[in-house]
Structure 1
Amino acid sequence: MDIILKNVKKKDFPVFQSLAKSLGFEIIEENEKPYNPEFVKEILDAEKSIEEGKGIKMKIEDLWK
């Protein structure tokens, strides 16, 4: 059986660790990454290119043409 604890405060985590260790449980920490790193890089590169003036301007009406 798996038990998942979410939003555990940093100060409370040692208490859970100690309890789990005393009961013989295995602790696996997984840090969630909300975004794909490649996607983030692509967005940051696009923002940088716009700042460098490499972007184009379009009218909203032209988006559906």
Structure 2
Amino acid sequence: MKVILDIQDNKAAFVMGLLQRLPFVKTKPLSPYQAKVPDDVKEAVGEMHQIKKGSLQARDAEAIFSY
């Protein structure tokens, strides 16, 4: 099983130390980008549900990527 934990910065070293002492737990810190991806996907799925319900207007892909 994989789990993502959101830990306060000032407590991260302590929690990581505890987890690393457990022989059945593997730890791997995520980069800031990797940590943001699940939140972005969750937001996108939520927006898709709103679009399907009609409570949010869909946007054209060209409008999203034209800067």
Which TM-score tier does this pair reach, normalised by the shorter chain? Answer: 0.3 to 0.5
TM-score normalised by structure 2 residue count: 0.40
Larger Rg: 1
